[in-house]
């Protein structure tokens, strides 16, 4: 289970969820992966902690398709 | 639609009655003027007629068809609607037949990721939700209508024209036994989503159409699972789409499944395709036994409504005024609240108990409730039927994380209805009094129930007009008794319900101390509340609730 001190509220999560969906659409299919990778680097830069980044990366790799 | 070889009313479990048209003398109608004509004999029109009859107001109810709805459409009745059904005196058969529920589950690729529990405190009389086929809803309401001498229901009666002037509204009615003209004070248009009344008046719904399409199928099977709402995201039985399962009485199950983007509606609606898809879905539910197909239809989500629900003497109620997505189960429930809201207001106006300005509150209150549904429905609809690639990908990410993490699971909750709060209504003139309370229902909120010391429920004691709930130590003060007389002179139905502090859970639920007063409307919403007696404010609140201006 993912634990973190600065948790988003559910309302916050809903806002992020909608903004992410619209961001992907704005980037367009061709630039989708680039947009998401840039977004991750920016968030990691803002967040400033490599351990947290590593943990999120491992978590994101679980429960993948196939 | 029904399986090949079956007529449109050949159901596995419901016997459709046939209602003949009534012979109406055009000559006699010419001499008569009706207080209210209701167009549309579905659940909303029937409820409006019964609400008016509660106040002794006669109505004519016109229905185009010769029987009830030809398939189950709405199936979820929420707690506030059960209170409406109780207040119009018909809740008994509903409680006997409907399946009550409070839980739901959401699954992603066949793993459970979200457990819904709708609160059901012991202080509440009714469960949060009940499932019942629309044919039964109509038939139970109709039984009460048929037994009520104030309601003149006319089947096979179609409205062909409408003419409105400042002091009259008339309809041209066509029936197999002849055509005639009807004059009336008010018309309630309860003629459904495709409302011919709306079209005839040149009005249009405005709002958004969502892309995703769902097939709705009712099947009969012996399937052992409690009455819960189950939502399956990307199940193996419907890859790429969502599936919703609801249990109904008579071993009938509602299966809603989402079509893939670009799938043809015509192909999807073919019987063999319906059977194949339902088969695959039932395998996911571990149902191995036989099943029978009852009825199916196709549906896409919309959030549409009229800009104004009242046009002079014509008032729109139910789907004719608003179309909401199915996921929040607000279509039928909001319609019932429309019917009851206009029912007591028009009831009071036509018996001379209220001023005509009371009607001005109908549209803001009920359209406000619709806009509130839209705000929630937009969120749940974008999750249930993601409109674009971005929304689909965001949903996939949230669902994938939901398999092992709690934080995104709430996104997978098809939000069920919350009762609407009329906080900015003209009938709620002192909302700032809420600040004097630390807890309890806000001004405009639906009044919560509470168990009394004698085992009865608080709301059972409310009258059919405005009711004050007064919290006292022993008996009401002389000051209250004086105020009660004034309120009673203004409103003959006015009733005071006295609650002894410390005798029940009501004090806690209402955040009340000695001297606290709540003023309840006939629809059990809170018109105002006070921690200390403010006679002028209470009188004023009652007066605006009766559409009257008082000299101060």
Stretch B460-470: mean pLDDT, rounded? 96
Nearest CA-CA distance, residue A1 and chain B, Å: 6
pLDDT score recorded for residue B415:
65
pLDDT score recorded for residue A4:
54
Interface probe for A, chosen from B234, B394, B409 (most Cβ of A below 10 Å), is B394
Residue of B nearest to A14 (CA): B411
Q: Assess A47–B contact: CB distance below 8 Å, yes or no.
A: no
A-B interface: how many C-beta pairs under 8 angstroms?
55
State the pLDDT confidence band at B423, using cuts at 50, 70 and 90.
confident
State the pLDDT confidence band at A1, using cuts at 50, 70 and 90.
very low
Report CB contact under 8 Å: B389, A29: yes
Stretch B54-72: mean pLDDT, rounded? 93
Q: Assess A64–B contact: CB distance below 8 Å, yes or no.
A: yes
Backbone angles phi, psi at B439, to 5 degrees: -150, -175
Give CA torsion, residues A36, A42, A47, A52, to 10 deg. 40
Here the tokens at position B329 are 């189960």
Q: If you ran DSSP here, which 8-state letter would residue B446 be given?
A: B
Q: Are strands B252-258 and B99-101 parallel, antiparallel or unpaired?
A: unpaired
pLDDT score recorded for residue B64:
97
Q: Mean pLDDT across chain B, nearest whole number?
A: 92
State the pLDDT confidence band at B205, using cuts at 50, 70 and 90.
very high
Closest CA to B87 of B545, B451, B447: B447
As a whole number of angstroms, the distance between CA B426 and CA B352 comes to 20
Report CB contact under 8 Å: B390, A25: yes
pLDDT score recorded for residue B516:
96
Question: How far from each other are the two terminal CA atoms of chain A, in whole angstroms?
Answer: 22
As a whole number of angstroms, the distance between CA B347 and CA B35 comes to 10
Nearest CA-CA distance, residue A51 and chain B, Å: 19
Residue of A nearest to B382 (CA): A18
Ranges of beta strands (E only) in B51-137 are: 59-62, 76-78, 99-101, 103-108, 111-117, 129-131
What radius of gyration, in Å, describes the C-alpha atoms of chain B? 24
Among the partner-chain residues B391, B404, B405, the one whose CB lies closest to the CB of A21 is B391
pLDDT score recorded for residue B480:
95
Residue A28 — left, alpha, or beta (φ > 0 → left; ψ -120 to 50 → alpha)?
A: left
pLDDT score recorded for residue B532:
93
Q: Residue B297: exposed, middle, or buried by beta-carbon count in 10 A (0-12, 13-18, 19+)? A: middle
pLDDT digits (tens, 9 = 90+) for B100-132: 999 999 999 878 988 888 889 989 999 999 999
Interface probe for B, chosen from A7, A17, A37 (most Cβ of B below 10 Å), is A17
Residue of A nearest to B392 (CA): A21
Report CB contact under 8 Å: A17, B398: yes
pLDDT digits (tens, 9 = 90+) for A30-41: 999 999 999 999
Q: Assess A61–B contact: CB distance below 8 Å, yes or no.
A: no
Provide, as residue numbers in chain A, all residues whose Cβ is less than 8 Å from the Cβ of B390. Answer: 20-26
pLDDT of B12 strictly over 90:
yes
More confident residue, B286 or B315: B315
pLDDT digits (tens, 9 = 90+) for B365-405: 999 988 888 887 777 778 888 888 999 999 999 999 998 88
Q: If you ran DSSP here, which 8-state letter would residue B447 be given?
A: P
Cβ–Cβ < 8 Å for B322, B370:
yes
Angle between helices B535-545 and B478-490 (to 10 degrees): 20
Provide, as residue numbers in chain A, all residues whose Cβ is less than 8 Å from the Cβ of B406. Answer: 1
Report CB contact under 8 Å: B389, A13: no
Closest CA to B265 of B195, B202, B211: B211
As a whole number of angstroms, the distance between CA B321 and CA B337 comes to 13
The complex scores an ipTM of 0.92
Report CB contact under 8 Å: A2, B379: no
pLDDT digits (tens, 9 = 90+) for B471-515: 999 899 999 999 999 999 999 999 999 999 999 999 999 999 999
Cβ–Cβ < 8 Å for B334, B376:
no
Instruction: Enter the pTM of the model.
Output: 0.92
pLDDT score recorded for residue A7:
81
- C-alpha distances (whole Å) from B200 to each of B81, B91, B171, B182, B196 are 30, 35, 11, 16, 6
Among the partner-chain residues B388, B390, B407, the one whose CB lies closest to the CB of A13 is B407
Contact map slice: A 2-41 vs B, CB within 8 A: 2, 7-8, 10, 13-14, 17-18, 20-26, 29, 32
Here the tokens at position A51 are 């351990």
Stretch B411-422: mean pLDDT, rounded? 74
Stretch B13-26: mean pLDDT, rounded? 93
pLDDT of B53 strictly over 50:
yes
Nearest CA-CA distance, residue A45 and chain B, Å: 22
Q: What proportion of chain B, given as a percentage, has pLDDT over 90? A: 76
Nearest CA-CA distance, residue A47 and chain B, Å: 19
Residue of A nearest to B393 (CA): A21
Here the tokens at position B497 are 């319900």
């Amino acid at each position: 289970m993912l634990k973190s001190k600065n948790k988003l509220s559910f309302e916050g999560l809903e806002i992020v969820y909608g903004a992410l969906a619209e961001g992907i659409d704005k980037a367009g299919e061709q630039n989708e992966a680039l947009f998401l990778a840039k977004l991750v680097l920016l968030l990691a830069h803002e967040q400033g902690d490599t351990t947290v980044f590593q943990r999120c990366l491992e978590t994101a790799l679980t429960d993948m398709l196939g | 639609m029904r399986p090949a070889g079956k007529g449109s009313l050949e159901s596995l479990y419901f016997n459709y009655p046939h209602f003949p048209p009534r012979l109406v003398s055009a000559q006699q109608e010419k001499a008569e003027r009706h207080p209210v004509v209701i167009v549309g004999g579905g659940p909303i029109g029937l409820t409006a007629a019964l609400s008016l009859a509660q106040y002794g107001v006669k109505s004519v109810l016109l229905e185009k068809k010769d029987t009830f709805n030809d398939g189950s459409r709405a199936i979820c009745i929420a707690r506030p609607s059960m209170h409406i059904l109780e207040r119009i005196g018909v809740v008994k058969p509903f409680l006997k037949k409907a399946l009550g529920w409070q839980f739901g589950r959401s699954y992603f690729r066949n793993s459970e990721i979200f457990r819904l529990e709708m609160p059901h405190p012991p202080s509440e009389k009714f469960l949060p939700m009940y499932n019942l086929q629309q044919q039964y809803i109509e038939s139970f309401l109709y039984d009460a209508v048929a037994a009520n001498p104030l309601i003149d229901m006319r089947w096979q009666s179609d409205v062909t024209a409408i003419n409105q002037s400042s002091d009259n509204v008339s309809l041209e009615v066509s029936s197999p036994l002849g055509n005639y003209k009807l004059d009336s004070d008010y018309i309630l248009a309860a003629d459904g989503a495709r409302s011919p009344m709306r079209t005839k008046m040149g009005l249009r719904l405005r709002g958004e159409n969502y892309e995703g399409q769902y097939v709705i199928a009712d099947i009969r099977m012996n399937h052992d699972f409690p009455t819960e709402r189950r939502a399956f995201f990307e199940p193996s039985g419907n890859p790429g789409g969502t599936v919703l399962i609801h249990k109904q009485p008579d071993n009938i199950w509602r299966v809603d499944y989402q079509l893939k983007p670009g799938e043809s509606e015509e192909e999807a609606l073919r019987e063999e395709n319906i059977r194949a898809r339902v088969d695959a879905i039932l395998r996911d539910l571990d149902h191995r036994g036989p099943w029978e197909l009852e009825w199916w239809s196709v549906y896409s989500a919309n959030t549409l409504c009229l800009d104004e629900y009242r046009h002079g003497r014509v008032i729109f109620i139910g789907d004719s005024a608003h179309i909401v997505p199915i996921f929040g189960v607000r279509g039928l429930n909001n319609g019932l609240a429309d019917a009851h809201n206009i029912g007591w207001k028009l009831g009071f106006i036509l018996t001379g108990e209220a001023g005509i300005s009371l009607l001005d509150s109908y549209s803001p209150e009920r359209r406000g409730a619709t806009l509130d549904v839209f705000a929630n429905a937009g969120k749940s609809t974008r999750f249930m039927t993601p409109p674009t690639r971005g929304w689909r990908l965001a949903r996939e990410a949230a669902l994938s994380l939901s398999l092992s993490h709690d934080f995104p699971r709430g996104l997978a909750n098809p939000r069920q209805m919350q009762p609407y709060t009329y906080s900015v209504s003209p009938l709620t003139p002192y909302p700032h009094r809420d600040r004097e309370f630390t807890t309890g229902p806000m001004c405009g909120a639906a009044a919560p129930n509470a168990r009394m010391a004698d085992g009865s429920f608080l709301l059972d004691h409310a009258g059919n007009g405005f009711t004050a709930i007064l919290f006292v130590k022993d008996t009401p003060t002389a000051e209250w008794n004086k105020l009660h007389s004034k309120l009673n002179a203004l409103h003959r139905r006015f009733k005071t319900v006295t609650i002894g502090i410390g005798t029940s859970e009501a004090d806690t639920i209402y955040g009340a101390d000695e001297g606290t007063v709540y003023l309840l409307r006939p629809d059990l919403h809170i018109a105002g509340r006070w921690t200390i007696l403010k006679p002028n404010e209470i009188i004023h609140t009652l007066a605006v609730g009766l559409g009257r201006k008082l000299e101060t």
